[in-house]
Amino acid sequence: MRKFKLLLMLFVCGFIFTLNVKAEGPNIICPSNVTTGNPFTCTITTDEVVNVVSDLKVYKGKTTMSENGSIEFKTNEEGSFDISILNEDYTNTFNTVTVVAKKPVTTTKTTTTTTTKKKSSNNYLSSIMIDGKQINDFSKDKTKYYVNVTNDTLKVIISARLEDETASYDINGPQTLEVGDNEYTIGVTSEDNTTKFYKIIVTRVLEEESNNTRISSLKVSGYKLNFDGNSKTYHLKIDKDDNKLNIKVDLEDETASYEIEGNSNLKNGSVVKIVVTAENNEFDTYRIIISKEQKPNYIIYVVIGASVLVIILLIIFMIRKKKNKEKNNNAKKESNYNKKADDLEKTIQIPNINNTNKSVDNDDVEETKVVSYEEEESLDKTKVVDLNSEIEKVFEDTFKDINND
């Protein structure tokens, strides 16, 4: 019965220990004592990405793994060495391995000759990995590298592979990335204790600020505004009694902000401005041009009507005045015409040639009286011609006066 209880207690303790180990996360188990020159194996239990870190040379296996596995080490040096694993939370789980000298092989010979191999000076890396991905432009002779990561990257896991198994390396750098440059150093120490340093500059870029000033929706309560998002100027006809608008604005970018200007005491021709400022302080302005229904101005209508009536009366007055003036002018012209006609009649009265009061010489009289018939006829024709010319002249003068009037 006691044996059964003892076995039961051992089983429960082992089960609890197993739970505790599992709860603690990744684990590594190595032998505590090994001898120089002989490889030994460490068992790793994990379900997440871990890196194996040690000053010992890896004999077989990988230093980065994401599931249960094993890794072998080998060294020709005596001493105590730590072997640890590092997960994403930078939690260390380590074992201490003590390496003792291998017992020399004795022979029956009385003398023993021991040869010492020259230690390697190879302190080169064969590759560098960041989060499990190898740096593309890696070269063992290139000791500085630059890597950019996004702003939301808070940490990286850097690992490396040695070119010579007898060398070892350690990595130093920040656990959490700051915005800007973060320097990591990989020190590689060769078997003969010479060290080479590789540097990786991981730059966490600054988050780019948005320049988005676009409006996704623009509404005016009580009115239909034909907003399309492409135009920045809109026209809106509002009621004559509205002095302020209820405007709702939705922006495409949550980091942007807006202000409304000129939305008070609205009049016909007022401009309401919506100024949108982006995260990077760039801004854009949207405008709503207001037009109002105008009240009819009856005074203006009365003034216009009166003015039109006055103009019509003036036109009628001028027409009548002109007609009266033309009538008077015609009467005056007719009077002048009659007067000139009377003058003309007086002018064309020709005195009798035979009756003259002048004293003439008898001889002249005789000569005058003795006129042939042909000459008398010719004289009559001349008088008729002169009379017609005189009449034409009177008519010309008359019409000239009429035109002047």
Q: What residue segments make up the domains of the chain, in order of their start? A: 19-102, 121-207, 215-292, 334-405
* Pairing state between β 33-35 and 92-100: parallel
Same fold for the domain at 19-102 and the one at 215-292? yes
Of 267, 272, 270, 271, nearest to 295 (Cα)?
Answer: 267
User: 19-102 domain in CATH 2.60.40.10?
Assistant: yes
Q: Which of 88-102, 169-183, 244-258, 357-371 has the lowest mean pLDDT?
A: 357-371
Q: Are 42 and 34 in contact (CB under 8 A)?
A: no
Q: Which amino acid is at 264?
A: S
Topology (CATH level 3) of domain 215-292: Immunoglobulin-like (2.60.40)
- The pLDDT assigned to 39 comes to 87
Rounded to whole angstroms, the Cα distance separating 306 from 313 reads 11
Structure tokens at 138: 């890696």
**Distances from the Cα of 303 to the Cα of 111, 294, 296, 314, 315, angstroms:** 143, 18, 13, 16, 18
Rounded to whole angstroms, the Cα distance separating 231 from 37 reads 80
Q: pLDDT digits over 5-31, tens only?
A: 556 666 655 555 444 444 456 888 888
User: 121-207 domain in CATH 2.60.40?
Assistant: yes
The H or E element containing residue 81 is strand 79-86
Q: pLDDT digits over 281-296, tens only?
A: 889 999 999 998 666 6
Model confidence band, residue 143 (pLDDT cutoffs 50, 70, 90): very high
Answer with the residue of higher pLDDT: 233 or 303.
Answer: 233
Using alpha carbons only, give the angle 32, 38, 43 rounded to the nearest 5 degrees: 50
Model confidence band, residue 147 (pLDDT cutoffs 50, 70, 90): very high
Sheet of 283-292, strands arranged across: 233-238, 283-292, 271-277, 257-261
- Give percent of the chain above pLDDT 90: 29
CA 351 to chain centre: 114
When pLDDT is averaged across residues 147-151 and rounded to a whole number, the result is 91
Model confidence band, residue 159 (pLDDT cutoffs 50, 70, 90): very high
Query: Is residue 104 packed enough to be buried (19+ CB in 10 Å), middle (13-18) or exposed (0-12)?
Result: exposed
* pLDDT of 56 higher than 90: no
Task: Give the number of other Cβ atoms within 10 Å of residue 246's Cβ.
Answer: 11
Task: Give the number of other Cβ atoms within 10 Å of residue 23's Cβ.
Answer: 7
Q: Which of 130-134, 333-337, 384-388 has the lowest mean pLDDT?
A: 384-388
- The pLDDT assigned to 170 comes to 94
Rounded to whole angstroms, the Cα distance separating 286 from 214 reads 10
* pLDDT of 373 higher than 80: no
Rounded to whole angstroms, the Cα distance separating 357 from 126 reads 166
Model confidence band, residue 185 (pLDDT cutoffs 50, 70, 90): very high
When pLDDT is averaged across residues 70-85 and rounded to a whole number, the result is 83
* pLDDT of 186 higher than 80: yes
- The pLDDT assigned to 22 comes to 42
Rounded to whole angstroms, the Cα distance separating 142 from 127 reads 11
In which residue are the tokens 């044996």 written?
3
* pLDDT of 270 higher than 60: yes
Q: Which of 41-45, 53-57, 71-75, 390-394 has the lowest mean pLDDT?
A: 390-394
